[in-house]
């Protein structure tokens, strides 16, 4: 059995459910925007005010930040830091783990408070954890890994001529 990193995928329905959950959270918490980033640094979704920065770069740095903090946690004898908080003068960010596979990043300013964000995020985290657990389970249940490129060998060869 080849062991590399497993691949995973999500459908438009998954995506819709993720967006609905995040939109509800933004509405309840008054946060500006929310981003979902997978642990390897890939951006999954963005909702709320469109960010004024490069979201791909942001996602990569977020994953690195979270991984580095995981290691820091281990050094001091914790298994993980489930959430991280970075406070700025105007803008702050709160990062929280979802199912050990993705990171939810919340950007907020003084229109709300850390307390409210934390309170409201609990529900979103539960919902997203369930959604992602289903998505990953589905990935494992599939007899074959995602094969959208099945039979595309020639096309792949042509792409790299």
Partner 1 sequence: MSMINYASREINCKIVYYGPGLGGKTTNLEHVYGRVQPNTRGKLISLATETERTLFFDFLPVDLGTIRGFKTRFHLYTVPGQVYYNASRKLILKGVDGIVYVADSQLERMEANLEAMQNLYDNMQEYGYDLTTMPFVVQYNKRDLPNAAPVTELQGALNPGWEVREPPKQRVTPDPYHAGENLIEQITSGEWVERAPYFEAVAVTGEGVFDTLKAVSKLVLKTLA
The footprint of partner 1 (CB under 8 A) covers: 2-12, 14-16, 38-42, 44, 54, 56-57, 60-61, 63-64, 67-68, 71, 145-153, 155-157, 159-160
Nearer to partner 1, 89 or 157 (CB): 157
Q: How far is the CB of 137 from partner 1 (least distance, A)?
A: 16
Q: How far is the CB of 92 from partner 1 (least distance, A)?
A: 22
Nearer to partner 1, 89 or 149 (CB): 149
DSSP per-residue string spanning 61-72? HHHHHHHHHHHH
Nearer to partner 1, 75 or 87 (CB): 75
Contacts of residue 90, Cβ cutoff 8 Å, sequence gap at least 6: 109, 110
Among 142, 100, 156, CA closest to 8: 142
Among 110, 105, 53, CA closest to 84: 105
């Amino acid at each position: 059995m080849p062991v590399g990193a497993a691949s995973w995928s999500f459908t438009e329905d998954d995506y819709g459910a993720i967006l609905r959950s995040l939109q509800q959270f933004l509405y309840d918490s008054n946060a500006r925007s929310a981003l979902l980033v997978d642990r390897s640094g890939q951006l999954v979704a963005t909702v709320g005010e469109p960010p004024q920065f490069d979201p791909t770069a942001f996602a990569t740095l977020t994953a690195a930040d979270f991984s580095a903090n995981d290691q820091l946690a281990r050094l001091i004898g914790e298994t993980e830091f489930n959430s991280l908080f970075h406070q700025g003068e105007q803008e702050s960010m709160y990062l929280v783990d979802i199912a050990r596979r993705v990171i939810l990043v919340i950007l907020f300013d003084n229109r709300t408070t850390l307390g409210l964000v934390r309170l409201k995020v609990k529900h979103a985290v539960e919902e997203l954890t369930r959604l992602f657990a289903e998505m990953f389970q589905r990935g494992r249940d599939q007899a074959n890994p995602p094969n959208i490129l099945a039979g595309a060998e020639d096309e792949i060869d042509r792409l790299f001529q």
